[in-house]
Structure 1
């Protein structure tokens, strides 16, 4: 009886949400398409957010060299785009270079404060209070500046299609107000974007909430908490006063439907995701215009071409790669826990460690003193930034374990390379990817009982378990290799995504053509 009441509650809430948020489909004139064989990509600069777009753009250069590719983003992406253009041209001499357009404004993660939150009910209040910032961190003035710049670029380039990042909301608003043909590419899976479309209110009782870290399907004991987490998030996204005030101010300035969180997906607009069968959480209903491409990954030049010295070092001995995403810097307590873990691993094994480390806060470098002997003997390398793209590093064959934060891009890079994961989730959807890594058998959720806080023992224990000769480590490595081999032999996600964008870039005469 209790279970039936619980499911009924979830279904009723879901129906109410659907009624309030979806409404009737909006009647729109045909989307405008501009110049034939022209695509404009707009994304954030952070690797975890932009790599799916750059990977798709690179595939367009290689496989559809007659398509003119433009790319707009904030300061810091121009050199990377020039590099991938050069690599694409080496593979396909007819490939053009990407034309880069800089957008004045702050990058997404430069505005967002570091918001480390625990999984489940303990963290949902904090996450919900920050949801307006996660949805769109720019001020009204900044939003309008980006909105106007994107509008001017569309007028100047007149692309056949604009390829959007869901988290550059001013660009989404600008493109939609101009009724221009567009598509979305997202590093997230269908489970992060479309659980609200599932029948019988199953978003509440079957599918793990964004901040939960629950397995799939949601365990019986966690159903009530999962309902609460989903309802709390929906409530916050709908009724956040700060976000609603920003929307009102933008409407006054002429933006028609600003920052509409719940109307992002449209049935007539292509949506491309990094969803892999057998690895991602399966949905009962996936919208027909959604393409599940699997890993959409940027693999530029081989590792030895990017940095021969580092590649040689990585391949000298099994290496643990520690890289927690472009948006994370180490507060002192997190740095101390990782230092203790690295010391423990290097003291007990013959492994090497490559650690992408950057400080958050003004603390002394003396905190790294325990690791100095390993730096001197050449078994540890620390760097604020890696000189080789992570995917190329993973493909080099020298990485024994990949320690990351659970971002979708990192998860898919490790998955495709066949390298087992050690996941240290810190907020929101990162917990879901940590749970998936364990459920699928390709990794370990480290410090699970203390997340998001770390202990040196929790981190080193997970690394040692993945890399030793024990039953768990062997199973994780075999499962990772098997999945990686399968993904590498099939059609690559970046090529699937590029094909979908190419369909829109080739304008059919008389169908929505621009001036």
Structure 2
């Protein structure tokens, strides 16, 4: 019997990055019985890895479980909103000593596993650094889009004038009169990434202590012809680019398999089946202040009233997953008589037309797959965008940082939704949000958004599951 080949995956524990690795693990478990799967990350992802492993074994009884390696006693990638919004720490989120600790941990795991192939999260700087430094066979697996990875390599300096600088609210295509402003934004971004003293000290410290040259986000601005980058996107669903390097391989959306809502939460399944539902889910990181919740509530009241006034068929209801603080604690009342939200939505609460919950037991993707969701209100995170696109659900996007602005522009460019806060982002106001919801759900363009969303979902289905495409590339490169 031939010896099993070993695949090692190195990723941050933040779900926006890690989900595609978990999905890929599942695909490998179903297609490659002669492959051992090893995944290294920080402690918060352990439970999700165990769940993914159990799901894979349940679906494929002959598969081997995922071997998890915890990266110990080191600084995890900072996953707070302020850090994600700022490309200075994002390009080098560690101090020099923290980076050395992480690199030594990665070295330990690589030496222990002795992988035949390693896949590294494109935002996991220690993993990128050590994979290159140790000379192992490796590839990058990224949730980013073609625009994100190929933009610095576009001809005619298109990076400066053709595409909105990340983290800005500039539209695509950029109007002529805004091109100088975009050039300024790009120059500022480059300045802070290149001349950030803390990052430079960290890089120098790593080179001095372990002899490695740091591989961080700056490296993606240089051609990497011999390094394959598997990408969870497709040119069909992105801004057009003039040049795609051969080593950047679009695999299509990489989605985790999910259990049906009926199986996970039968009561929610019954409730969703009552009528069309607006699903508000702003991801795992953003939080909503009471003032913002009030603005949202006012927009929802206006939407529901408009639905009834127009005499639309059936019931319209709202499922709203609301995170009030960074750590998920309760900071303000929702249903208490006389509180700000109850004064706005009290009658809707009483009729169970609007549910505001801290957590939804079922995965967002499986909620969207029920066929009962008429609109996904999300923050423009990559996972949220792809989940809605893959299920043919129109979107209203409330971007909060960095590339979430790109996804707000993407839904408008693709004709599958609206930006819900174009003049107030990263905050939002009732008037703008209500207008966007109305256009997507009951307005004259609503049918157009629905048809276009279903059309793209069909195109994605024809391309096949992205996780299976990644698995085939892995098997072909071991």
| Same fold by TM-score greater than 0.5 | yes
Which sections of structure 1, spanning at least 5 residues, go unmatched?
Answer: 1-34, 117-126, 506-515
Distance in 1, Cα, partners of 2:59 & 2:331: 46
Which runs of structure 2 are paired with 1:446-465 in the superposition (5 Å)? 446-465=420-439
SS in 1 for 2:40: strand
Offset at residue 278 of structure 1 (A)? 2.9
Q: Which aligned pairs between 1:346-385 and structure 2 lie closer than 5 A?
A: 346-349=304-307, 350-360=315-325, 363-365=331-333, 366-370=339-343, 371-385=345-359
2:140 aligns with 184
C-alpha change, 1:333 and 1:482, in structure 2 (3 Å) is same
Q: Paired residue for 2:288, among 330, 346, 349?
A: 330
Q: Aligned partners of 1:133 and 1:293: how far apart in 2? A: 29
**1:223-262 superposed matches below 5 A:** 223-262=179-218
Whole-angstrom CA distance in 1 between matches of 2:76 and 2:216: 20
**Alignment pair present for 1:494 and 2:467:** yes
Q: Is the 8 A contact 2:120 2:140 kept in 1?
A: yes
Q: 1:438 aligns with which of 408, 412, 433?
A: 412
* 1:108 partnered with 2:77: yes
Matched, 1:266 2:266: no
Greater RCO (CA < 8 Å, at least 6 residues apart): 1
Contact 2:75–2:102 (CA<8 Å) still a contact in 1?
no
Query: Which of 368-377 and 56-65 deviates more?
Result: 368-377
Aligned-residue offset at 1:252? 2.3
Match of 2:250 among 283, 292, 297: 292
Q: Using a 3 Å threshold, how does the CA distance of structure 1 residues 384 and 40 change in structure 2: closer, same or farther?
A: farther
CA RMSD between the two structures: 2.1
Deviation string, structure 1 residues 364-388 (Cα, Å, up to 9, x no partner): 3244433344334322223333211
- Equivalent position SS for 1:77: helix
TM score, norm. by length of structure 2: 0.90
Shift of 1:113: 4.7
Q: Which runs of 4+ in 1 moved over 6 A?
A: none
2: CA distance between counterparts of 1:189 and 1:473? Answer: 27
- Contact 1:114 1:328 survives alignment (8 Å): no
Deviation at 1:432, TM superposition (A): 1.5
The CA deviation at 1:36 is 5.2
When normalised by structure 1's length, the TM-score is: 0.84
Q: How many residues align?
A: 457
Distance 1:159 1:311 in 2: 43
Stretch of structure 1 that moved more, 438-447 or 372-381:
372-381
Distance 1:267 1:36 in 2: 29
> Where does the alignment leave 5 or more consecutive residues of structure 2 unmatched?
308-314, 334-338
Relative to structure 1, the CA distance from residue 78 to residue 375 in structure 2 (aligned partners, 3 Å threshold; closer, same or farther) is: farther
